[in-house]
Amino acid sequence: MIALITAVAGRRLHLSRQEEWLRRQQRADVVRVVVAMDDAPIQTPSAADATVLRVRADGALPLAAARNAGAEAAIAAGAELLVFLDVDCLPRPRLLDAYADAARERPDALLTGSVAYLPEGVDYARPETFEALGTVHGFRPRPLPGIREPAPHELFWSLSFACTPATWQRIGGFDDGYRGYGGEDTDFGFAARAAGVELLFVGGAEADHQHHPVSDPPIEHLDDILRNADRFAAKWGVVPMRGWLDAFAELGLVAHDPDTDRYARRPDLRTDAA
């Protein structure tokens, strides 16, 4: 049995599209787990017996805690494979089979798949156009179906990934000390490396990312990113998300101390956006 786990806060239209994609695939071997982060009641039409959980947000999205809660519920339900899919992602028809095939061959590995970002204005009634319209980040592998390509753990992302319960427990789950946006997924990748778990990009385990507005750098998440970057650096001895942190510094929102390699909000500056 495969557990498909999604954490959500808002994004109801995106969740409903994901549910519709899953309903079309009509998989009897899939148990659905949705984790609401202080969200209103959620409908899950893809599975009448879906498990819907709720975790408290307390002002910052508890992404790590939500994924841990989803995994715990899936394992308790007897899942043999945990598949995590971001609420923005629409699974292509082969995604679950590709992950399942890879897990049978490599139950000891952390598996992840390619995600293509769809542009604004895409017609979601025409998924046959997604391949031509979507943009895949060039610095992450996109192997052909059937290929499992090893990759550095720094390239792990939480939009779409899978592992067996045994591998999940070996990694130790997500560190729920991360609160809000940023850092928790890279931490998970580093924890996998520390546990001796190989990261494999799985050919054919592909998804399409629904469009939503973004800011670059994400100023609205500045405090979360600073806090989580400090936690990551204390654990692993390196600074994550440096591209964003340097962009914040260039905007004058944070100061960088080269002696400690630490970024901190400038005390003389407050912004409504952050």
* Average pLDDT taken over every residue of the chain: 88
pTM: 0.91
Digit-coded pLDDT (tens) for 43-96: 666 665 678 888 887 778 889 999 999 999 999 999 999 999 999 999 999 999
Model confidence at 273, pLDDT cuts 50, 70, 90, reads very low
Q: Which two tokens stand for residue 268?
A: 């003389």
- 274 inside domain: no
Domain that holds residue 134: 2-209
pLDDT of the residue at 44: 66
Distances from the Cα of 165 to the Cα of 60, 155, 192, 258, angstroms: 27, 21, 13, 41
Average pLDDT for 189-213: 94
Residues 44 and 47: their CA atoms lie apart, in Å, by 6
Q: Angle, to 10 degrees, between the axis of helix 222-236 and the axis of helix 184-194?
A: 10
Of the chain, the end-to-end C-alpha distance in Å amounts to 42
| Residue 266 predicted with pLDDT over 50 | yes
Is residue 154 domain-shared with residue 203, that is, in the same domain?
yes
Is 66 within the bounds of a domain? yes
Specify whether 196 is located in the same domain as 233.
no
Residue 270 inside a domain? The answer is: no
Contact between 218 and 244 under an 8 Å Cβ cutoff? The reply is yes
Work out the burial of residue 53: count CB atoms within 10 Å of its CB; fewer than 13 is exposed, 13-18 middle, 19 or more buried: middle
Q: Are residues 96 and 168 in the same domain?
A: yes
The CATH number for 154's domain is 3.90.550.10
Please state, for a pLDDT cut of 90, what percent of the chain lies above it: 51
Based on the domain organization, do 245 and 193 belong to the same domain?
Answer: no
> Is pLDDT at 194 greater than 60 in this prediction?
yes
Q: What angle do CA 114, 48, 19 make, to 5 degrees?
A: 30
Whether 232 is in a domain gets the answer yes
In the chain, what percentage of residues exceed pLDDT 70?
A: 95
In this prediction, residue 274 carries a pLDDT of 42
| pLDDT score of 272 more than 50 | no
Q: Which of 209, 238, 255 is the last residue of a domain?
A: 209
Q: Structurally, how many domains does the chain consist of?
A: 2
**Does 272 map to a domain?**
no
Whether 191 and 67 map to the same domain: the answer is yes
Average pLDDT over residues 87-106: 95
Q: How far apart are CA 23 and CA 241, in angstroms?
A: 36
